[in-house]
Chain A
């Protein structure tokens, strides 16, 4: 699993960080994005759906969101 800790960065930081990471990892890899920006909880799942990957989990922790995805292609 690869963790992208984008806490403290604002839109489009977390989404763009996740996209950069996704380009680098192998198919099947799990990526966990941590973001303190609420819009990530909406933007990232929306992108994952459009790009055809799997959204594993979106979870609100204390003061940040944990968004887990799986690279499918």
Chain B
């Protein structure tokens, strides 16, 4: 029997698993193939929902679902943490003491924020990039009436490149709704010499920031937060004061990648940009945020990559040529407040072009927030 092991129960892991179940239905039923997914959490978190949770537009229960409920019944689920991936022996070791042998491995261990790596940030700042952070920020925002809010991107890469822009637009509108926008100063900071990595997006967003009286600073690389004085100290030698700091903390790959020696310095797995195989391995694939690819760390990317990986693994098992390739396809919605949104679409060769923000795209994003669970289940 051939065994496929998927490590990680985020969107990348569950879509890949469900696609495999669809393509290998007969093989699994006849016990010629098994597909096991290892997740260290019982529930999947729909992370894009955190942006809305911070403004109290959705609740915790709306954005968490039991992984069991998301998986095809033919799949096996193990709730455990993978502690080591041994590529020599083709084996994944779990914290339960158990080990899983694989013929094919899919690494879908995602990314995580490490606010503790920025001195002073845990004491002095906020973030909405994980559930606890988003809940803490929600309470802070509900009480905030006056002062300077700094939205600061503290490293690249980070999940969902456009989320810092979205939160900034939403803050502008949130404070307007509460009648205190005139008392609140908004400042957005970014590490490179424009406000976003992609030039076309950067130009339009910069113009919109100016129209809405949102300040911005570029070439801004925080090295330390002073929680007492409430200032951000940068590598460029600036000291920026704040009343409320909303950070996009530094990101890292999963600990198991680092511990197994499979990643680069920050824990991203070197991955072939077309086949999505881990470099140097024929039977190890990487999907979603875990890769080192120069594509966005986004759910949509995980989705498009999962199609390629599932198709190729299924083809190999069936003795067919594995010819599917990934071309960097990505799609992101961009909220420009609570009433309008735009979106970008791009790939390795095609830069994004923004369409004028409108109500329809905003409704699409809100509708997708609810439909997402169909994506995780491999249906949409």
State the A residues within 8 Å of B (CB): 9-13, 15-16, 19, 22-23, 43, 46-47, 50-52, 73
Interface residues of B in 190-207 (CB under 8 A from A): 191-193, 197
Q: A51-B236, A52-B237 are in contact. List 8 more A-B contacts (CB 8 A).
A: A9-B294, A10-B294, A12-B156, A12-B192, A16-B192, A43-B193, A47-B192, A51-B235
Closest to A13 in B: B294
Q: Which of A9, A23, A43, A51 contacts B192 (CB 8 A)?
A: A43
A16 touches B236 (CB 8 A): no
Chain A residues touching B, majority SS: helix
Q: Which of B197, B219, B223, B236 contacts A11 (CB 8 A)?
A: B197
A-facing mask of B177-195, CB < 8 A → 1, else 0?
Answer: 0000000000000011100
Given A9-B294, A23-B235, A51-B235, A46 and B156 contact (CB-CB distance below 8 Å): no
Give 29 A-B contacts (CB < 8 Å), ordered by A residue: A9-B294, A10-B294, A12-B156, A12-B191, A12-B192, A12-B197, A15-B192, A16-B155, A16-B156, A16-B192, A19-B191, A19-B221, A19-B235, A23-B223, A23-B235, A43-B192, A43-B193, A46-B193, A46-B219, A47-B192, A47-B193, A47-B219, A50-B219, A50-B236, A51-B219, A51-B235, A51-B236, A52-B236, A73-B237
- Give chain A nearest CB distance to B270 CB in angstroms: 11
- Give chain A nearest CB distance to B310 CB in angstroms: 27
Closest to B196 in A: A12
Cβ contacts under 8 Å, B235 to chain A: 19, 22-23, 51
A-facing mask of B339-366, CB < 8 A → 1, else 0?
Answer: 0000000000000000000000000000
Kindly state the separation between the CA atoms of A43 and B193 in the bound complex, as whole angstroms.
7
Cβ contacts under 8 Å, B221 to chain A: 19
Please tell me the size bucket of the interface on B: 10 to 19
Cβ contacts under 8 Å, A43 to chain B: 192-193
A-facing mask of B53-75, CB < 8 A → 1, else 0?
Answer: 00000000000000000000000
Cβ contacts under 8 Å, B223 to chain A: 23
Closest to A12 in B: B192
- Give chain A nearest CB distance to B272 CB in angstroms: 12
Q: Closest 9 A-B residue pairs measured CB to CB?
A: A12-B192, A51-B236, A16-B156, A50-B219, A10-B294, A12-B197, A47-B219, A50-B236, A43-B193
Cβ contacts under 8 Å, B155 to chain A: 16
Closest to B234 in A: A51
Kindly state the separation between the CA atoms of A42 and B235 in the bound complex, as whole angstroms.
19
A51 touches B237 (CB 8 A): yes
Kindly state the separation between the CA atoms of A46 and B191 in the bound complex, as whole angstroms.
13
Kindly state the separation between the CA atoms of A47 and B235 in the bound complex, as whole angstroms.
11
